[in-house]
Chains A and B, each alone.
Chain A
Amino acid sequence: EDQVTQSPEALRLQEGESSSLNCSYTVSGLRGLFWYRQDPGKGPEFLFTLYSAGEEKEKERLKATLTKKESFLHITAPKPEDSATYLCAVPPNQAGTALIFGKGTTLSVSS
């Protein structure tokens, strides 16, 4: 069964304290891995798409990396405004735009 698992469920950091979020998946023949950020009561905001092992993408304090079985979202020197739930998703083994989402990691950054 296709699955996406994110860890940890929740993460509390001090401002400036770098860390990483993990997303592991069991889908074979990966057709892309997507990272989103979601603020409370809002729709997910697209961050990155990764397609192949070894690929990396960066945006401000965030860097996403991909291996054959997992992806990491590295957060460098986070600020309070980085507080949100971070979701990763993969398409299942069938055509179409359906995405399987992980349950997310809720990040809280305090000053």
Chain B
Amino acid sequence: KAGVTQTPRYLIKTRGQQVTLSCSPISGHRSVSWYQQTPGQGLQFLFEYFSETQRNKGNFPGRFSGRQFSNSRSEMNVSTLELGDSALYLCASSLGRLTDTQYFGPGTRLTVL
């Protein structure tokens, strides 16, 4: 069974630009969560989508948004990029929402110059 895939794997943007990251979950998984990983803060939860609805949101500004499509694929958008947004963005999928194991993709490395 194919794992979680994320595209692109690497991105370089400049301050003020916006970016869209894509995530395809494991086949049959309906829940997709996004995390930001930085050396200083570690892994931090961004948001969770289930059945095309955002069910949970972490403590990030409104510049961070996302959506989920009917096939469970998800996209994450960051507008007005700041230097501090440079990070590894990870997508994880799980079958459902409660205590199901999350499986992570390889991540998208975003660098903001």
Contact = CB atoms under 8 A, between A and B. Distances in A.
Contacts of A31: 98-99
Interface in A65-111: 87, 89, 91, 94-104
Contact of B104 (A41, A45, A91, A104): A45
B86 to A, nearest CB: 14
A91 B43 contact: no
Interface residues of A, number: 26
B8 interface: no
Grouping DSSP codes into helix (H, G, I), strand (E, B) and loop, the A interface class, with mixed when no group exceeds half, is loop
Contacts of B56: 94-98
B66 interface: no
A98 B104 contact: no
Given A36-B104, A42-B107, A97 B48 contact: yes
B42 A49 contact: no
11 contacts: A41-B107, A41-B109, A43-B105, A43-B107, A49-B99, A96-B97, A97-B31, A97-B97, A98-B33, A99-B43, A101-B43
Interface of A: 31-32, 34, 36, 41-46, 49, 51, 87, 89, 91, 94-104
